[in-house]
Amino acid sequence: MEVTSDWRGREDEIAELFRRTFTASEGAEEGAAVGRLARDLLATTPEADLRVFLTEEGGVLAGCILFTRLVYPKDGRSVFLLSPVAVAPEMQGRGLGQRLIAHGLRALREEGAEVAVTYGDPAFYAKVGFAPVSVAQVAPPQPLGQPEGWLAQALHGEALGPLEGPSRCAPALDDPAYW
């Protein structure tokens, strides 16, 4: 599996992957919303605060993950939020998403990021090192509708100490509907 961060000029293709993936699993309304979110994140997030990793199978976009900086003004650590994640429906169940996330986490670690956070299915994200955290330990940028899905990991092997809030996410994600 070859992973690239060469996403510029592929915004429409990436947004369509997210739309199609989430439509298949969550319905058309959710698919449209996540497709818009991906497009907005790519268009409005400063380059220094955005990491994009994608992979292809047979020349077709098969998976894409986005990391955006999560800022804790009272904490000096470099923190990134993994969201959203998409693997084309016909490519799911083969470990592609896990390998793509593992690649992204390695890249973040190599550039000096210290913490990765995500919001999703604890059973899936545990496979790539995420563990549940409380909102007291890692303050989210918005109130959480499903706090059991708030997950994090330290990227350098040390125990994850509390991240003192408040936190600030990318503007495109700063909408209670996503939380």
pLDDT value of position 77:
95
Is cis: bond before 84, omega within 30 of 0? yes
DSSP string, the chain: --EE---TT-HHHHHHHHHHHHHHHH-HHHHHHHHHHHHHHHHHS-GGGEEEEEEEETTEEEEEEEEEE-B-TT--S-EEEEEEEEE-GGGTTSSHHHHHHHHHHHHHHHTT--EEEEES-HHHHHTTT-EE--TTTB--SS--S-GGGEEEEESSSS----B-S--B--GGG-SGGG-
Can you state the angle between helices 28-44 and 11-26, rounded to 10 degrees?
150
Tell me: the pLDDT tens digits for 95-114?
999 999 999 999 999 999 99
Q: Average pLDDT in the 77-99 region?
A: 96
Strand partners, 154: 115
Q: In whole angstroms, what is the distance from residue 174 CA to residue 133 CA?
A: 20
Q: Average pLDDT in the 134-145 region?
A: 96
pLDDT value of position 157:
84
Q: Average pLDDT in the 139-155 region?
A: 97
> Could you give the percent of the chain with pLDDT greater than 90?
93
Tell me: the pLDDT tens digits for 34-69?
999 999 999 999 999 999 999 999 889 999 999 999
At 164, is the pLDDT very low, low, confident or very high (cuts 50, 70, 90)? confident
Contact assessment for residue 113 and residue 137, using Cβ atoms and an 8 Å cutoff: no
Write phi, then psi, for 28 (nearest 5 degrees).
Answer: -60, -40
Contact assessment for residue 21 and residue 15, using Cβ atoms and an 8 Å cutoff: no
Token pair 């497709």 is found at 35
Domains of the chain (ranges, CATH numbers): 3-178 (3.40.630.30)
Q: Average pLDDT in the 72-100 region?
A: 96
pLDDT value of position 1:
78
Q: In whole angstroms, what is the distance from residue 34 CA to residue 16 CA?
A: 9
pLDDT value of position 158:
85
